[in-house]
């Protein structure tokens, strides 16, 4: 029961545009930690399909006080879920990440942290606590599941139970900065985890920490660099020899923060910059290449051929997130449509800008992924998720053929991000399954869906049917049974 | 993960008439153990409304093999839920009861127990295990929460966590028979729990064990009696001086059991019998009073004035459960409509039959309850739940005034049983709240609803809004914060 009496009852606002607006009845919040052993399965899960599919997304723990009621959905507390799959059976579990923030609010039975990434709006009682929501991605490395939010260090979870084991995980002290990306890369050759943190020395700072941890989680390399301006650096590119950061004009709004606003604002007057540095160096070789004003969020794949660097991201000419304000113009939904865009730069010459080209001009999508075994390497398999007037869908790309395939669950359903799962250890690139959650809006239920990459248009080979709408997500992450084999709870 | 590979995937039949038919998509099964801290509340929970509302119902753990696919809903495994309420805040949790049966099936990842109360249909691997599903009622006495199914001993649960603490609880050995009712009575004067078990010495036996346990759970009195014929004895009546059993012709179908059927069959050729015995005696004073062929399930209230005994039950002229077969005729839904019926018998004379009278002829309902503080005593407050063409509703009766009031959530909603909660310790009879769950069918969600007994027709004073349809129930049970105060997990 309550350690403290939080006073008034919990009720999210009716206004759908408010934080958690519509509440549980409207599906805007979930808040329930659920466990379903041996889910119902339609179709057949391949007998050697074995591992755990993790997901995480923001799920408002408490309504915000009136002053912060216009906070954005990204500020919901991280709620992790997992489907454990083996022998044709599936077990489901979801748990809030026990962040420092979650624990403080749980004890107080109310919201204590104000606006999205604005510590100036916090209740005085939480001074010194991490603001991190751990709501963006979960990854598995050196036996640890880490829930990530790019404004704070990882939170470590037990991969078998989802219990939080460390509410501020710093790789044994190896992470020196205040932040850590939600999109570290796993080098398939070396087993390294390569990560970074931006605004690493405080609110609005342009300091970035870059580092690499070995298979055992020991930080074996790090460097500090500065970016041209402070703003969102959601993802980055790691190739065999290089690390690259795309700096986009979703800038940190220092003045806005002081007046109680959210963290970012879109400044269309600024160019983008692609920064490239050698892996393993001290960062002094970092070079910046200028590019157009555009927004790009996720890296599909990246590699280098000698000094030629290739980076594929989904991006758009304008601000892609309507809830981040624009400094100079009104939001234009046509300018938010994402296309796979290939950036290239030749490091051997004196180029001062990077080139970019849209790969599939007719194809709109977001949440780019690849066969994760091909991080850092030349790749052919890409995955995207798409939302549009015809409903939502998953897209599978084969760059070698220049082809793509689409599966849509119909207009009464809404997909979360699709992830690629190899058919088995050692399977060829792109040979396996797309796995992801589909929300059946009319039924207020969710399914986990498996598509065979041989023919995603044929529809699911297996559907895991949940009795209710499960918690939403930003990203998902697959860990095979082999990878999890050595983990003991 | 699976200790054993259960082979084929879990999938409930599409046929809605089958066990778990329609599965989770159809709402026929829930199966998910959920926890929601600080539920959303519309309206205002009175600040001194403090305690826990427990519920339990059948929730199929696994689909049945084809041979037993026509099993009845009552055979689902017991799933307990609780709303813990204090200071205007509400925490929700649900857990399957870890019965011996549940644990064996969980390990095997499949159904091992065949038809409803037919041990002849079980998988050989479960011989010797309790078949009990603990799915009918939860009660709190001597610091223990007990989940009850009338074919087996109680299962003890931690009232604060719902963890199972004893999968076969026998009151420290005091319960000698094989069975225990789901409707024991709590004597408000003595603090005793008075219970019984029918078919107490085996399948189809006419032996009944009656006993009383004191405030500490010690069995301080017991007696063995025999009933005129073996059949369902779902409830019983306890007054200050007497204990009474109504024997109805929903008889144990011994031949049907041998051919793989369910336990009961309706035999309209048999009369009913009301058996009355003194509390505290050896049972030799038991007398049987003959009555009409009818069915009655739940006792609303019972008392004696000297040798005159009064028992109110909801009942109907015919079989009330369509899924129990009739031996001699087809099921007649008009004969299942329940009315509050008062049985009276004068024990001072030589009567050989009991009298009965319908109290509110125009009012149809089931699941009779009362202000539980008036068990054994003259009472005026009754509660019923009603299902009909106009939708479902709750009914509140004041026998002193001969009046009743009704609240209905509308035809798109379905109520579970209503329970009475006193306004505070020492409140007058019937002064308080009706509390219960309403399933919002169109929204596929559930609410916990509080009505003030001063005016239930005014609608909810508070509504606890759940993000999904919560598990169903048969019965519910309120335990005040004072009563729970001494319990430590």
Backbone torsions φ then ψ of A331, nearest 5 degrees: -65, 130
Question: Per-residue pLDDT tens for B109-155?
Answer: 999 999 999 999 999 999 999 999 999 999 999 999 999 999 999 99
- How far is residue A148 from each of residues A20, A151, A435, B273, measured CA to CA in Å? 21, 9, 21, 68
Residue-averaged pLDDT of chain B? 96
Contacts of A88 in chain B (CB under 8 A): 5, 7-9
* Environment class of A278 (CB within 10 Å of its CB; exposed 0-12, middle 13-18, buried 19+): middle
* Closest Cα in chain B, distance from residue A162 (Å): 14
Nearest CB among B40, B88, B106 relative to A37 is that of: B106
* Closest Cα in chain A, distance from residue B480 (Å): 13
Residue of A nearest to B8 (CA): A88
| Closest C-alpha among A306, A380, A301, A317 to residue A345 | A306
* Closest Cα in chain B, distance from residue A42 (Å): 7
Q: Are B164 and B156 in contact (CB under 8 A)?
A: yes
Question: Per-residue pLDDT tens for B352-399?
Answer: 999 999 999 999 999 999 999 999 999 999 999 999 888 999 999 999
Backbone torsions φ then ψ of B299, nearest 5 degrees: -85, 125
DSSP state letters, B23-63: TTTTTS---EEEEESS-EEEE---TT--EEEEEEEEE-SSP
The set of residues, in sequence order, having a beta carbon less than 8 Å from that of B196 and lying 6+ positions away, is B180, B181, B184, B208, B209, B210, B211, B233, B236, B243, B245
Which residues partner with A288 through β-bridges? A275
Question: Per-residue pLDDT tens for B147-197?
Answer: 999 999 999 999 999 999 999 999 999 999 999 999 999 999 999 999 999
Separation of alpha carbons A52 and A476, rounded Å: 10
| Closest C-alpha among B92, B27, B22 to residue B63 | B22
Residue of A nearest to B45 (CA): A9
Residue of A nearest to B87 (CA): A5
Query: Could you give the percent of chain B with pLDDT greater than 70?
Result: 98
Nearest CB among A9, A38, A40 relative to B89 is that of: A9
Question: Per-residue pLDDT tens for B48-79?
Answer: 999 999 999 999 999 999 999 999 999 999 99
Nearest CB among B35, B84, B87 relative to A5 is that of: B87
Question: Per-residue pLDDT tens for A419-438?
Answer: 999 999 999 999 999 999 99
Best of A2, A4, A6, A9 to substitute, by most chain B Cβ atoms within 10 angstroms, is A9
Q: Are B282 and B317 in contact (CB under 8 A)?
A: no
**Which of the four pLDDT bands, split at 50, 70 and 90, describes residue B489?**
low
pLDDT at B26: 85
Nearest CB among B1, B27, B33 relative to A86 is that of: B1
In this structure, what token pair is assigned to residue B7? 């082979």
- B1 pLDDT exceeds 90? no
In this structure, what token pair is assigned to residue B140? 């709190």
CB A6 to CB B87 under 8 A? Answer: yes
- How far is residue B240 from each of residues A69, A99, B25, B400, measured CA to CA in Å? 58, 56, 48, 20
- B481 pLDDT exceeds 90? yes
In this structure, what token pair is assigned to residue B351? 């009567």
Contacts of A443 in chain B (CB under 8 A): 25, 444
Question: Per-residue pLDDT tens for B302-322?
Answer: 999 999 999 999 999 999 999
Q: Estimate to the nearest angstrom the gap between the alpha carbon of A180 and the chain centroid.
A: 12
CB A2 to CB B444 under 8 A? Answer: no
- B3 pLDDT exceeds 90? no
Averaged in consecutive runs of 10 residues, what is the pLDDT profile of chain A (489 residues)? 55 95 90 98 94 98 96 97 96 98 98 97 97 98 97 98 98 98 97 98 97 98 98 98 98 95 96 98 97 98 98 97 94 94 97 97 97 98 94 97 97 96 96 98 95 98 96 97 83
* Closest Cα in chain B, distance from residue A445 (Å): 7
Contacts of A31 in chain B (CB under 8 A): 36-38, 467
């Amino acid at each position: 029961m309550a350690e403290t009496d939080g006073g008034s009852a919990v009720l999210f606002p009716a206004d759908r545009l408010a934080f958690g607006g519509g509440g549980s009845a409207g599906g805007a919040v979930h808040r329930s930690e659920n466990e379903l052993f041996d889910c119902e399965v339609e179709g057949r899960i391949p007998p050697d399909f074995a591992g755990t599919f993790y997901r995480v997304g923001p799920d408002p723990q408490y309504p915000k006080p009136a002053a912060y009621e216009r906070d954005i959905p990204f500020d919901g507390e991280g709620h992790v879920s997992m489907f454990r799959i083996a022998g044709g059976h599936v077990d489901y579990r979801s748990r809030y990440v026990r962040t420092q923030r979650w624990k403080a609010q749980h004890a107080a039975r109310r919201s204590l942290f104000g606006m999205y990434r604005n510590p100036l709006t916090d209740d005085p009682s939480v001074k010194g606590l991490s603001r991190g929501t751990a709501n963006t991605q979960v990854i598995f490395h050196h036996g640890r599941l880490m829930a990530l939010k790019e404004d704070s260090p990882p939170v470590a979870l037990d991969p078998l139970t989802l219990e939080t084991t460390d509410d501020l995980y710093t790789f044994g002290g190896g992470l020196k900065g205040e932040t850590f990306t939600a999109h570290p890369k796993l080098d398939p050759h070396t087993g390294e985890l390569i990560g970074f943190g931006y605004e690493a020395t405080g609110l609005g700072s342009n300091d970035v920490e870059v580092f690499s941890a070995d298979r055992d989680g020991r930080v074996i390399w790090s460097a500090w660099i500065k970016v041209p301006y402070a703003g969102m650096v959601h993802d980055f590119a790691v190739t065999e020899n290089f690390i690259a950061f795309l700096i986009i004009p979703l800038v940190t709004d220092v003045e806005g923060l002081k007046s109680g606003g959210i963290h970012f604002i879109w400044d269309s007057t600024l160019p983008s910059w692609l920064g490239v540095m050698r892996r393993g160096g001290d960062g002094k070789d970092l070079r910046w290449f200028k590019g157009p004003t555009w927004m790009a969020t996720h890296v599909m794949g990246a590699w280098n051929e000698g000094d030629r660097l290739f980076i594929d991201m989904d991006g758009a000419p304008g601000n892609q997130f309507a809830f981040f304000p624009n400094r100079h113009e009104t939001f234009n939904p046509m300018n938010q449509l994402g296309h796979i865009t290939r950036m290239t730069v030749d490091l051997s010459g004196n180029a001062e800008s990077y080139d970019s080209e849209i790969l599939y001009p007719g194809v709109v999508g977001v949440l780019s992924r690849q066969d994760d075994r091909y991080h850092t390497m030349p790749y052919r398999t890409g995955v995207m998720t798409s939302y549009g007037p015809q409903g939502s869908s998953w897209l599978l790309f084969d760059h070698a053929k220049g082809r793509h395939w689409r599966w849509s669950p119909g207009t009464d359903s809404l997909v979360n991000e699709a992830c690629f799962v190899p058919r088995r250890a050692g399977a060829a690139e792109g040979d396996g399954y797309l796995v992801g959650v589909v929300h059946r809006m009319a039924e207020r239920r969710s399914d986990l869906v498996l598509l065979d990459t041989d023919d995603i248009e044929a529809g699911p080979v297996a559907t895991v049917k949940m009795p209710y709408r499960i918690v939403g997500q930003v990203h998902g992450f697959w860990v095979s049974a082999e990878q999890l084999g050595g983990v003991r709870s």
